[in-house]
A and B are shown apart, each in its own frame.
Chain A
Amino acid sequence: MSIEGQVRIPSGCAITSVFSKSGENISGRLVVDSIATMHERSNGLGGGFAGYGIYPQYKDLYAFHIFYDTLAARQACEAFIDRHFDVVNLSKIPVRKHPNIIDEPLIWRYFLTPLPTKLKDSQLDESEFTKRCVIRINDSIEGAYVFSSGKNMGVFKAVGYPEDVGDFYRLEDYEGYCWTAHGRYPTNTPGWWGGAHPFALLGYSIVHNGEISSYDANRRFIEMYGYRCNLQTDTEVITYIVDFLHRRRGLTLAEVASVIAAPFWTTIATKPAEEREKLTYLRNTFASLLITGPFSILLGFDGGIMALNDRLKLRSMVVGERGDRVYIASEECAIRVMEPDLEKLWAPRGGEPVIVRLNAGAQGR
């Protein structure tokens, strides 16, 4: 049996999300019901969720969610973790047996903080230290895969239809200010657990509907900066691009959007001088990070969410709003099932980012 990376996967997929700007707690159940309306966009080979604000009791600690293929992988990984982190709490992630979710790996969760001495010796900041450890584990420990590594957030994913995955992980037991969800439709290979979305690194998580034609160009560029695309799924590289541009290079999210979904040169030519210069600079400087091909993505980050379409808008996306809640999904039905009476419903243009953040002083920060 081939796994991803040995075989190419073009994908269909569904994405959805809910966000409370005032930081209200939203049950994970809501977004499970939302993604279920788009059942036909998935084929049972991957589903997943990211929740933000779900671990308030450990909000200053990194929460690692890890898949292990074998006990040996767990032992090797835990030895590595013990050398680099202070583990405050560890446990299996609670799951409920589900007839449609089979062949699960060992699924563990760790709340941890970098060991002060190790961190000091590394001369890195905390987030860069942690990121390097995540990549080290995923790249070098066979059978261990850190699929979530942010603070006060967590990714839950599996092979199956997303509504079944939500049941499996008991998402009704979690509450957060933001949820994103994904239903997968890989058509050429068996999906595998690590290949389900979201793809996450530190506080960033990506769910993606589409196919990246520029994947290899993007991968070659980003691997020069210490990232390792060892899952060889196109979505993975988006997560690393966002981490590189936003966290490390300090670009704003709108600028990140102008890099990965850059306007056409003909469109840039019509902009006022200052904007034209900026767009030209971004396109030239980060030419290898332009993502081509059809995509719609939802980027979850600490305190916010960004939605983005490819510049030609070859995938669908709608946004609904009511009160402090913002809903973004591939299809309107996925929004209406969460909130039938919207104050506003609209479709963002291709390449136009929709950025939503927690209000100042909101809980969950």
Chain B
Amino acid sequence: MLIQAKDLPFRELNRQINAAGEQSVTLQGVMGQRFIASGLKGKDVEINGIPGNALGAYLDGAHITVRGNAQDATGDTMNEGSIRIYGRSGDATGYAMRGGSIYVQGDSGYRAGIHMKAYSAKYPVLVIGGAAGSFLGEYLAGGVIIVLGIGHEAEGKAPVGYFTGTGMYGGKIFLRSAHVPHDLPPQVDVREAAAQDREEAYAHVAQYCAYFGGDPHQLMEHRLLVLTPSEESSYKQLYCAQ
């Protein structure tokens, strides 16, 4: 089902998406409407144009495809489902997400994956094909963030900004990078990916390539770093029952 989004206020646009009788909904002419598909389940939504902030907030199982860039706070607190973006994403992508997956073909802004969390079967996945901005994985509590740095390999630095992993106390960050970020905080450990790590990362890299093209084996033939909170100095003792 096709919805012409041009000039529709966001509430009306979401009302039409919810009311659509078919599972598959295509939006044309989207221009900055916020909260698209928020809390949605059981539908596939394709977005043509520029979705506004908080795309797929509280998403609950729907699958979203963006044919273009996304703005800020994509997948804010999403619970289940998937968002794939054929372009770049703005700041705070995957903000506090607790399940499902977000795949960004290109770069992402500041604070990607801020305060993602995991519990039992809920394990959020955020994959960024290009480079991430500063404060990647800030306050990360669970789930996995993968930054592939495609196209940034020759920059002589990790494909991240400053202050990666600030306040991180759970979860895991993969960096496909020959370089360790120079300013990792003391409570974050960095190591080379072991066979088991590579196996975990490969599944998500293969999914990235299935979406956007590319050869996962070739992408994985590269130095891969794993960032985790260190056991000794982690904030875990502050926030988690021992």
Q: CB within 8 Å of B: which residues of A? A: 37-38, 40, 266-267, 270, 312-313, 316, 318, 331-334, 336-337, 345, 347, 349-350
Asked if A333 meets B31 with Cβ closer than 8 Å, knowing A313-B110, A316-B72, the reply is yes
- On whether the beta carbons of A331 and B134 are closer than 8 Å, the reply is no
Over the window 52-92 of chain B, the binary record of Cβ atoms lying under 8 Å from chain A Cβ atoms (1 yes, 0 no) is 11000000000000000101100000000000000010110
- On whether the beta carbons of B91 and A313 are closer than 8 Å, the reply is yes
- On whether the beta carbons of B161 and A349 are closer than 8 Å, the reply is yes
**Which of B91, B133, B182 counts the most chain A CB atoms within 10 A?**
B91
Q: CB within 8 Å of A: which residues of B? A: 10, 31-32, 34, 49-50, 52-53, 69, 71-72, 88, 90-91, 109-110, 133-135, 161-162, 182-183
- Residues of the B chain whose Cβ atoms lie less than 8 Å from the Cβ of A336: 31, 49-50
- Residues of the B chain whose Cβ atoms lie less than 8 Å from the Cβ of A349: 133-134, 161
- On whether the beta carbons of B161 and A316 are closer than 8 Å, the reply is no
Q: List 10 A-B contacts (CB under 8 A).
A: A40-B52, A316-B72, A332-B90, A333-B32, A334-B32, A336-B49, A336-B50, A337-B32, A345-B88, A349-B134
- On whether the beta carbons of B90 and A316 are closer than 8 Å, the reply is yes
For the complex formed, measure the closest distance between the CB of A322 and the CB atoms of chain B, giving whole angstroms: 15
What DSSP secondary structure best describes chain B's contact surface? Answer: loop
- Residues of the B chain whose Cβ atoms lie less than 8 Å from the Cβ of A347: 90-91, 109-110, 133
> What is the bound-complex CA distance between A318 and B71, given in angstroms?
10
- Residues of the A chain whose Cβ atoms lie less than 8 Å from the Cβ of B10: 40
For the complex formed, measure the closest distance between the CB of A137 and the CB atoms of chain B, giving whole angstroms: 39
> What is the bound-complex CA distance between A331 and B33, given in angstroms?
11
Residue of A nearest to B32 (CB): A333
> What is the bound-complex CA distance between A349 and B132, given in angstroms?
11
> What is the bound-complex CA distance between A349 and B183, given in angstroms?
17
- On whether the beta carbons of A37 and B31 are closer than 8 Å, the reply is yes
> What is the bound-complex CA distance between A347 and B89, given in angstroms?
10
For the complex formed, measure the closest distance between the CB of B88 and the CB atoms of chain A, giving whole angstroms: 8
- On whether the beta carbons of B134 and A333 are closer than 8 Å, the reply is no
**Which of A267, A312, A332, A347 counts the most chain B CB atoms within 10 A?**
A332
- Residues of the B chain whose Cβ atoms lie less than 8 Å from the Cβ of A38: 32
Residue of B nearest to A335 (CB): B50
- On whether the beta carbons of B162 and A37 are closer than 8 Å, the reply is no
- Residues of the A chain whose Cβ atoms lie less than 8 Å from the Cβ of B69: 332, 345
A267: which of B32, B91, B135, B162 is its contact (CB, 8 Å)?
B162
Asked if A266 meets B183 with Cβ closer than 8 Å, knowing A37-B31, A331-B53, A337-B31, the reply is yes
B50: which of A40, A267, A316, A332 is its contact (CB, 8 Å)?
A332
